[in-house]
Structure 1
């Protein structure tokens, strides 16, 4: 039997690399002939993982983490027709059956058949169907023909693997946030949050033709990273209100589009604002978005937050100024990104050098045994995207 190791959530603030079962082509007691087993080439630490590791979800101890996966097919079930052993593939973080009403409509983030608890499934994530995560050496992927994106040239893909690894989640997620917020040629845009998703979103806004992309955060290193590829940094620690900072840059205190890349652990704005105010970003978005504008919300909001300070927030209820959004005829777009809607096109932007997404989010490759430290550094606000290389396959 082959060995396998994975990154497991132990308790708030603690993850460990543990020996875990080698994957089987099985779903419980029945064979999974539509699945494949992957040798992991790259698997990334995500801000969504960090919510669990901070103890801000109902994630159980022992959960193997990781929903951002790129790998080599080393075994395929007999019902897999078009994906072959030896293929290098990107795995959307959404697990989708390809058969249900939602999948057939392209809404793969809310598949009806992969999670008995609710619509939508994902690898290594709380309340998302119990699927084993991919921050490991090997993982099983179901419905392979439908889910997997095969890279057309393995050598070409490995040369750009630092970029292509981001196709499993944050590049499509950032892009989806921009698209749903109506970003296009000449748009004036504000991106809330300069973590990896926010930076990927900002780069996507440039790709879509935005004229000005402003990125707000409280961590100077992350703002410098945003500035490094042409964004206008907005320091949310400043005593100058957000709308006034925007007016200083574009002449008016409003924008066409806002993308919330922060989510439910948002903090208040202004000098010394360290306390959590989970509705801050959404309310600020409605304040600065022009009448008739749109707000994309790829940032994570949860139905259960045991670490929240008040009972309402623990149940995902926030004090949102929906009346303001209604009065300004805003459009709001929420939910998991349907990665498959975008990943092939975004792959081509990478392969044909239309974007340097790894540079934008500042990818740093680490070994599997360094994953716990990666989580610690990320939690401290490192302006990096940590990519785990379990087998030492990523070229220097």
Structure 2
């Protein structure tokens, strides 16, 4: 039996690379696995040899100790791999296929899945709708920052690349299809971005950069990206975005006015989430800052896309309300301006095939936009530290050294 190595959350601020069990087509007991999911047979699943797997900002929330993630949880929900074993009930996916794995785990059978809301599948998480690999309170499906991983419901979920050789030539782009690119794109679509529109993207981390690139693909006339981190803003500027530095100047509307000639945009996208900080040099954590600021600067009748993560449990929050996801939001302002809000996990399968074609045709340059940076599995702990310090990189783990 082959071995397996994986990136494991050990304690707040720390991840380790550990030897772990080789996956089987069954969900076994382990850290974070819901007791009602233990022993769940997955003959509809496959075993993947992981080709690439990415570090996500959502992983960082857990690693910082800002969730109830248990020690020993195997991380990783952004997975691309080669099929090396198929379950008895798998009909269309074959050994040798190179596939992208949507981070949402979805059965394909329930009402939500049939309505294309694969982000809130009703059958994969006993606690609540929706699930993901290697994530707290998501049912306990084992993460993919590893050498090998099991993926259930393979025929329904997996996106097969049509030409394996050509896919490997663009693998740093295609690896973004599991989460970050569809998530950024969903934020832009949810915000109503269209040809000629003006867009504000809050946050220049990888998802914010993906949202900005997505807005460009959708035809936005001007994309403005705001952040407190000058290095990340420089990355946004590198592919044609306007930028506002909210550490140096806390007046967001005023900075937008200087760019557009009026202090508002047609659409706004929150790519920060619940660890948001206030603006200015003396900023501190203020989790409702981004939500309130995008309502302020979005025109009446505009839309807000909110792919940034918000949680129901945050033990490290700044106040008791925020610890249970209760934030002081100016909802009356949003109501008065007739804003449309779209929140929640991204239904990756709505977008990943189209975005794959945009990559393969050369239309989308997502790896360049997010500064994809290849690392080995053993270098993952250092990459987590670097990412936490705010470097402007999207770290892509290559567990087997397969990427040229």
**TM-score range with shorter-chain normalisation?**
over 0.9
Q: TM-score, normalised by structure 2?
A: 0.97
> CA–CA distance in 1 between the matches of 2:326 and 2:41?
41
Q: 1:19 aligns to what? A: 19
Instruction: Give me the whole-angstrom Cα distance separating, in 2, the residues matched to 1:320 and 1:26.
Output: 43
> Where does structure 1 lack aligned partners over 5 or more consecutive residues?
none
Of 337, 340, 357, which aligns to 1:331? Answer: 340
- More deviation, 240-249/42-51: 240-249
Q: Report SS of the residue matched to 2:321.
A: helix
**Other structure's SS at 1:202 match:** helix
Q: Any idea what SS the aligned residue of 1:215 has?
A: strand
> Counterpart of 1:263?
273
Q: 1:234 aligns with which of 239, 244, 247?
A: 244
Counterpart position of 1:129: 139
Q: How has the CA–CA distance of structure 1 residues 123 and 252 changed in structure 2, closer, same or farther, with 3 Å as cutoff?
A: same
Kindly tell me: are residues 166 and 109 of structure 1, through their superposed partners in 2, closer, same or farther at Cα, counting changes over 3 Å?
same
The alpha carbon displacement at 1:375 in A equals 0.1
CA distance in 2, matches of 1:101, 1:310: 37
Is contact 2:244–2:255 with CA below 8 Å preserved after alignment?
Answer: yes
Q: How many angstroms apart in 2 are the aligned matches of 1:211 and 1:44?
A: 30
Q: Which residue of 1 aligns with 2:4?
A: 4
Q: 1:171 aligns with which of 175, 178, 181?
A: 181
Aligned mates of 2:142, 2:113 — CA distance in 1: 21
**Partner of residue 194, structure 1:** 204
Q: Aligned-pair distance for 1:80?
A: 0.5
User: What is residue 99 of structure 2 aligned with on the other side?
Assistant: 89
TM-score by length of 1: 0.99
Number of matched pairs: 394
Q: Which residue among 316, 341, 363 is the counterpart of 2:325?
A: 316
Shift of 1:29: 3.2
CA, structure 1 residues 379+240, in 2 after alignment: closer, same or farther (shift >3 Å)?
closer
Q: Gaps spanning 5+ residues in structure 2: where?
A: 28-37
In 2, Cα distance between equivalents of 1:191 and 1:362: 17
Match of 2:161 in 1: 151
Q: CA offset at residue 208 of structure 1?
A: 0.1
**Other-structure match for 2:30:** none
Does 1:139 find its partner at 2:139?
A: no
- Give a deviation string over 1:102-121, Cα, whole Å, max 9, x none: 00000000000000010001
What is the deviation of 1:272? 2.1
Question: What is the CA RMSD across the aligned residues, in angstroms?
Answer: 0.7
**Contact 2:54–2:396 under 8 Å retained in 1:** yes
- 1:276: Cα distance to partner? 0.2
Match of 2:351 in 1: 342
The separation in 2 between residues aligned to 1:289 and 1:251, in whole angstroms, is 14
Distance change (3 Å), C-alpha of 1:178 and 1:30:
closer
The answer to whether the aligner puts 1:285 opposite 2:298 as a matched pair is no
